Copies of this chain bind each other. A is one copy, B any other.
Amino acid sequence: MSDVHAVILAGGSGTRFWPASRRSRPKQLLPLAGREGEPLLTATVRRLGPLVPPERIWIATGAHLADATAAALPDVPRSQILVEPVARNTAAPIGWAAATIARRDPDAIVVVLPADHFIADEHTFLEVLRTAIGAAEGGYLATIGIVPTRPETGYGYIEVGEPVAEGVHAVARFVEKPDRARAAEFLAGGKHLWNAGMFFFHAGVMRDAIRAHLPALAAGLDALDAAAARGEEAGALARLFPTFPSISIDHGVMEKASRLAVVPGSFGWNDIGSWEVTWELAEHDAQGNAVPEGTITVEAHDNLVKDLTGPRGRRKRYALVGVHDLIVVETDDAVLIIPRERAQDVRAVVDALQARGETERL
């Protein structure tokens, strides 16, 4: 059996979680769900533990996030934090990471996971992962498809084809984000899964697929391999990476490739799209409040209070009287108050800060 490596995609800006998320501290570095105080990225790596130890974990991120990323993952070797010189969507960093892994371990199986998702049932998740890894070992470009629980219009879908192995299906096709009516059909039909951006492949199989469908990227990766063989990788990366095509792995490779497999999974997956979801995933008191310990609530219900201040601020006592369905987020330099149902409108605050040139709070 081949060694399994994991590539965690940990770039991103995360305006939806202002004031917690900033350019220098995007969503995956924040403890938005799950274990108290554990950043989503840290949880992503921890969850993989039984299958992929830290010495085979690779993190693709931006230069401005490299230090914070390393700090969140003390067990991952610093040399495995792959710093993208510029942002080039997902195909380029996945191709680069797979090539880097293949240089160390040509027979590697690569697991690609987003850094900022929440998974409630970690045991089942690992089971599904094992199945998907098995499909990759069988030569498939495999993915996990999340069994839908609502007619979601915000995700791409994967239409399930014939079964090809225990728990594994061929992919009939990838489907763009549907409108409401189609999303409802998908949910009722039982043949469509959410594309959660998780990919599983043999390093060589992905390289072949890139060669077939993104030849410019393949040529760049070849040049990078050659430079690495001469011990000149760093300079070559800075020169070559910006020339790589900026396209997603979905559009650039998966949607065009053959030998695609999907493993349906149902393990309490959530991509935590807004503060509203943070409230949903949090523990609540009897009145539906998810608030710091010691908060005083008087006829207040279904509120989220997230205190992300430092040690000085953390001792603050919150008191909510007669308010409901409110989100309150406090950091060391900002306070957000917004109704839960408007959580997506945090973007307007970020826009206002941008318009004012208040870059220190972006």
Chain B residues positioned under 8 Å from A298 (CB to CB): 345, 348-349, 352
A322 at interface (Cβ–Cβ under 8 A)?
A: yes
Contact pattern, A 312-339, Cβ under 8 Å of B = 1, otherwise 0: 1101111111110010101011111111
Give the size category of A's interface with B. Answer: 35 or more
A139 at interface (Cβ–Cβ under 8 A)?
A: no
Chain B residues positioned under 8 Å from A322 (CB to CB): 338-339, 342, 345
Q: Is the CB of B358 within 8 A of A338?
A: no
A353 at interface (Cβ–Cβ under 8 A)?
A: yes
Give which listed residue, B19, B321, B326, B352, contacts A346 with CB less than 8 A: B321
A361 at interface (Cβ–Cβ under 8 A)?
A: yes
Bound together, the chains give a CA A315 to CA B318 distance in angstroms of 19
Bound together, the chains give a CA A330 to CA B331 distance in angstroms of 13
Bound together, the chains give a CA A345 to CA B321 distance in angstroms of 7
Q: Is the CB of B326 within 8 A of A337?
A: yes
Bound together, the chains give a CA A176 to CA B111 distance in angstroms of 79
Bound together, the chains give a CA A320 to CA B328 distance in angstroms of 10
Q: Is the CB of B335 within 8 A of A323?
A: no
> What number of copies of this chain does the assembly contain?
2
How close is A251's CB to chain B, nearest CB, in angstroms? Answer: 34
Chain B residues positioned under 8 Å from A346 (CB to CB): 321
How close is A6's CB to chain B, nearest CB, in angstroms? Answer: 37
Q: Is the CB of B339 within 8 A of A323?
A: yes
A296 at interface (Cβ–Cβ under 8 A)?
A: yes
Q: Is the CB of A337 within 8 A of B321?
A: yes
How close is A167's CB to chain B, nearest CB, in angstroms? Answer: 44
Bound together, the chains give a CA A318 to CA B330 distance in angstroms of 9
Residue on B nearest A361 in the bound complex, by CB = B317
Residue on B nearest A343 in the bound complex, by CB = B321
Bound together, the chains give a CA A361 to CA B189 distance in angstroms of 57
* A333 and B349 in contact, given A338-B322, A339-B322 (Cβ under 8 angstroms): no
Chain B residues positioned under 8 Å from A337 (CB to CB): 318-321, 323, 326, 328, 337
Bound together, the chains give a CA A309 to CA B291 distance in angstroms of 21
Q: Is the CB of B319 within 8 A of A19?
A: yes
In the complex, chain A residues 154-179 whose Cβ is within 8 Å of any chain B Cβ: none
Chain B residues positioned under 8 Å from A358 (CB to CB): 317
Q: Is the CB of A319 within 8 A of B335?
A: yes
Q: Which 6 A-B pairs have the closest CB atoms?
A: A321-B338, A322-B342, A319-B349, A317-B334, A298-B348, A296-B352
Residues of A within 8 A of B (CB): 18-19, 296, 298, 312-313, 315-323, 326, 328, 330, 332-339, 342, 345-346, 348-349, 352-353, 358, 361
In the complex, besides A19-B317, A319-B349, A326-B337, 17 extra interface pairs with C-beta distance below 8 angstroms are: A18-B319, A19-B319, A313-B313, A316-B333, A316-B334, A317-B333, A317-B358, A318-B337, A319-B337, A320-B337, A321-B342, A321-B348, A322-B338, A322-B342, A323-B337, A323-B339, A328-B335
What are 29 residue pairs bridging A and B, where the CB atoms are less than 8 Å apart in the complex? A19-B317, A19-B319, A296-B349, A298-B348, A313-B313, A316-B333, A316-B334, A316-B335, A317-B335, A317-B361, A318-B334, A318-B335, A318-B337, A319-B335, A319-B336, A319-B338, A319-B349, A320-B338, A321-B337, A321-B339, A321-B346, A321-B348, A322-B338, A322-B339, A322-B342, A323-B326, A323-B337, A328-B337, A330-B335
